[in-house]
Amino acid sequence: MNLNQGGNRGPDQNEYFNGNTVFQQLVAVTNHYKVANVVVITHSKGGIDIQDALASQTAGPLVSEVFMLSAPNLGSKLARSNARRVRPT
């Protein structure tokens, strides 16, 4: 599913909003095709969004496998460099 065009999910939304949207779409897809679960293939931020759907929603039974391509699981260079500049007091 690509929800960037005309969908509610997008790069300008946070992972919690996108995770909920992905969960709703997983329900719709499994109901439409009358299957118990699906294999999810993600790219980039989609990997973070599916992680949220699996962690904070009840999406677990709807997903049999997840394949992530270029997901920023370890953050980004920019995020890591900014984290070094901001030190807790």
pLDDT of residue 21: 86
Please report which confidence band the pLDDT of residue 68 belongs to, taking 50, 70 and 90 as the band edges.
very high
Please report which confidence band the pLDDT of residue 9 belongs to, taking 50, 70 and 90 as the band edges.
low
pLDDT of residue 69: 93
pTM: 0.72
So where are the chain's domains?
15-85
Query: Which residues face 43 on adjacent strands?
Result: 69
What is the DSSP code string of 12-74?
Answer: TS-HHHHHHHHHHHHHHHHHHHT-S-EEEEEETHHHHHHHHHHHHSS-GGGEEEEEEES--TT
Instruction: Note whether 4 and 10 are within 8 A (CB).
Output: yes
